[in-house]
Structure 1
Amino acid sequence: MRRIPNFVLLRAFEAAARHESFTLAANELHLTQSAISHQIRELEEYFGRKLFIRRNRRVEPTAEGRRLRDHLSRAFDRIEAACNEVAEAQAAQVLTVFSSHSFAVKWLSPRLPEFMQAYPDITIRVRSGSALIDLTQMEDIDIAITYGAAAERPGLVVRSLGAEQIVPLVSPRLLDAASSLPEQMQRLPLIDSQLSPVTWQDWFAANGMVCPARPRTSFDRGALAISAAVDGVGVVLESVRLAEREMARGELVPVGASVFQTLARETHFLSYRKNQQHLAKVRLFIEWLIRQLGAA
């Protein structure tokens, strides 16, 4: 058991020492001046020494009183801050979303301001990475958006975010209007997006062509591969969903959309706990996410 005086006495002393007035302390704590005086006297008896010098219209802490006041004021500040955090946590809804890096950067982040405006009481915390998140183990994460696959576990809801078109994308300044598109695809520099489920070998085979056997620049994130294509490094085989901003700005164009076969794959998966799907913050985010995907 902690060896400290009654908290009520400490509170009365701190207020009186801070104001240097029993009257002002009484007003702050909604007590009478005599009650404050009595509590201070009881605390002085506990310590066996005077904590105040009584003057005509005010009181002045002694040296020991000033030290005690300073320590108590800092302690009460910390207690108040801790209580405020708990109160705010109850009132606010914090939603932690784990997302694959490229999806977070290229698709989710540009849309988050709309969610925040629609649901100002929900605070979004986004974490990104390439790991396969298991929500049965990661209790601090509410929703996971993973790339390539999702951990299937009892108690989890897992759903695909739909098929994504994966096409060759290139900076328009690299295209040559005087050459046919098949010819250009044979000689343009190719960029490997290492995690993509569709490889260049897959794409060339699907279009009845031979994949050029030459060195290719490689990136381990789709976002990096897309940025490299914007910079003119070469042609990237990536998801239209991830490159939508670059395409909208004209920085990237699909190569031969009406000429070549388009490949589609389910690449991103949403997962959340079944017993939390009716929580407002989880439900609202999922509904918003599905609406955004449908509108894209």
Structure 2
Amino acid sequence: MPELSNKLINKPAVKPSEILKKGKTELDFVFSGLLAGSTGLLVGAGGAGKSFFAMGLAASIATGRWAPGACTLGFIPNIAGHVAYFNLEDPQAIIENRLYDLMQHFADDADAIEMLDHNLDILPLAGSLLAIADKNGANQPVVAEIKEYLRGKNTRLMIIDTVSRSHRMDENDNSQMALYNQILTNIAEETGAAILAIHHVNKQALSSNKNQQEIEGGIRGASALKDNARWVGYLSNLSEEECGKLYDPNFTGYISSDHRKKYAKFEIAKSNYKMAEEVTYLRRAAGGVLLPASLSPDSRAASKGIFTPRKAT
């Protein structure tokens, strides 16, 4: 029987008999639901705290420990590994100040600081003109450099902040956004790193800001960006509708509309390879660092800590 000769088809077919002998492969999740070698999106309005969430998650994976932000997933990594955070949006001074605020939660842990120095690279690339792709396809020299960098560091997670700063394509064109995701998938598969790209919602979702379904429908640009990602998480402020219905026993009691922006809500809207987690809540601490919040519609449940994520010991 003739074999496919296209050079792009460079992997052998999966044989049922071989799989029966080998058994199921244990899946390697970099964090909850995002598989190593796959792509995901972290979506939310400007000011929702996406960069702080991502930085906390990066610190957690780099150290293999609990970190502010990562607790929203109820997740402590089984494996500490290298994280590359490509910040294409913020000035270096802002990045440094955010990192300083985050590091206050590690200040008494010398081992964690040492691991962060070794495993966490936050790259201030605003104004660098780095573009993974344009309307003609992949920017091969940039893609090749990224692959070489990720392989050399044995990277577990690459964070791109933000999607719009990492390409020169038409964000509203489904075919171009599908190609953009395909390029990210190629980088992820060839390096073994998971890739988490940070993205914004559109103005309609920002103005309504009521619930996750509205935000999910309001992801900016073509739907192919969300459809082709293997994992999608949403971060938002509490809505007006939720105010007065959620109770915080440690701070404000029932949350008023005046205090709603002191909190954030995280939801996994799409998780192709693992059941999604429950909705989880955070509060904004000094500098904007996101910390776990034990919010509940029932003051008795909240006071018992039922919704408090577990913390590393």
**When the two structures are superposed, what TM-score results if normalisation uses the length of structure 2?**
0.23
Larger radius of gyration: 1
Which structure's residues are more often helix, by fraction? 1
**Which structure is higher in RCO with an 8 Å CA cutoff and minimum separation 6?**
2
